[in-house]
Amino acid sequence: MTPTRLAARLTLALLPLSALSLSGTAAAEDRHLTVMFQNDIFAGADGGGYTNGLMVAYVRSAAPGAAALAPDGLLSSVAPLLAVGPAALTSVSLNQIMVTPEDISRKNPDPMDAPYLGALWVRAAQVSVQGDVADMFSLNLGMIGPASGARQAQTFIHRITGSTRPEGWDSQVSNRLLYGIERYRALRLASGDGESVAPSLDAIVLGGVEASNLLSSVGGSAILRYGTSLKRSYASSLRQLARGADPLMFGRGWMVYLAVHGDHFFSHAGISNDLPPAGTRAELRESQLLGQAGIAYGWGDSSLAFSLQNTSALTTGTGRRKTYGSLTYTTALR
């Protein structure tokens, strides 16, 4: 069976998880479809760590004036165990990422550089907001390795963009189940109510943990935002889609934002104690720092956000930081 067919079967197998998380009865809520594309091509780079990410998400958020969403079948049963209150926002997303070494033209990658790694998974997340305090958790289930389809996706993207053909995907880790959980808590500090059409300023600080066989870490973020309707988009700014993702803008409004994400990594698939078949001597860089600057604009039923992000190298074998761009489009569903 080809990796592409394995990836397709994995997606079909994960659909029950999505159905469970979406089984709640509709109440006073807004529904959105969000697509996020992250790639180093936005920064004129190619390879050298995290190089591409794609996410498609179904997002439910409490409508203006509503206290919370109707309960979700799967998430609402787990939330009390993690001390997470009623949902202000939920999402179910299909995610794919790829990591590559800096020189992707080599058949045998540099053993001191980042490995070839692909992952494909479903992420079900919930955010609770009570006053200025918010809690987020997510459940993740998918595949790491050839079944993720990362090799085929990168080869296709590089062919249509005229980029260098990646030659070292034979060295990526073997197929394995991806599983994990994330839990974060945030505090919002605001200069205004964040609901009026007049621009205001706020700051969000958060901390928490991620425990999975793709990545295990503890860390936090500090996000500074200036714009309109900031309170409504609070729940979407808490690593709710991914670390370093763009905040979502619902309805009309705009914002500019700066963020710093700092983490201590305990493990990362394919690096150090998790060797790919070809072996690597690279060591995981445990202290990670990511800087982000972006802008978002909403014109009613749709919004667009873009940011540039600069992050630490994944391995100690290279000191070069990685820059990539993130583009996120959100549209309302009727």
Three-state SS for 8-35 is: HHHHHHHHHHHHHHCCCCCCCEEEEEEE
Q: What is the C-alpha separation between 30 and 291, in angstroms, rounded?
A: 31
Considering the four listed CATH numbers 2.40.128.140, 2.60.40.10, 2.130.10.10, 1.10.4160.10, the one that applies to the domain covering 3-332 is 2.40.128.140
Report d(CA 246, CA 291) in Å as an integer: 12
Write the pLDDT tens digit of every residue in 51-67: 788 999 999 988 877 77
pLDDT at 99 over 80: yes
* Distance, CA of 32 to CA of 59 (rounded, Å): 5
Q: Is 294 helix (H, G, I), strand (E, B) or coil?
A: strand
Q: For 1-5, 112-116, 189-193, 250-254, which range has the lowest pLDDT when averaged over its residues?
A: 1-5
Q: How confident is the model at residue 46 (pLDDT cuts 50, 70, 90)?
A: low
- pTM (two decimals): 0.85
Distance CA 24, CA 61 (A): 13
Per-residue pLDDT tens over the stretch 131-175:
899 999 999 999 999 999 989 888 888 788 777 888 889 888 889
Judge whether 92 and 73 are in contact, CB under 8 Å.
no
| Summary mean pLDDT of the chain | 83
pLDDT at residue 272 greater than cutoff 70: no
Contact between 188 and 235 under an 8 Å Cβ cutoff? The reply is: no
The answer to whether the CB of 52 falls within 8 A of the CB of 154 is yes
* Contact between 124 and 153 (Cβ < 8 Å): no
CA distance 265 to 256: 29
Q: Which long-range contacts (CB under 8 A, 24 or more apart) does 185-190 make?
A: 185/133, 185/134, 185/135, 185/136, 186/133, 186/134, 186/135, 186/136, 186/237, 186/238, 187/132, 187/133, 187/134, 188/132, 188/133, 188/134, 188/231, 188/234, 189/132, 190/132, 190/230, 190/231
Q: Lowest mean pLDDT: which of 35-39, 109-113, 247-251?
A: 109-113
Answer positive or negative: Cα dihedral of 124, 15, 232, 228: positive
Whether residue 248 contacts residue 62, with contact meaning beta carbons closer than 8 Å, is answered with no
**pLDDT higher than threshold 50 for residue 43:** yes
Which range of 81-85, 133-137, 320-324 scores highest in mean pLDDT? It is: 133-137
First to last CA, the chain: 39
**227, pLDDT greater than 80:** yes
Residue 188 φ then ψ, to 5°: -105, 130
The secondary structure of residue 116, as a DSSP letter, is: P
* Closest alpha carbon to 248 in 331, 185, 191: 331
| pLDDT at residue 137 in the model | 92
Name the band, by pLDDT with cuts 50, 70 and 90, for residue 7. very low
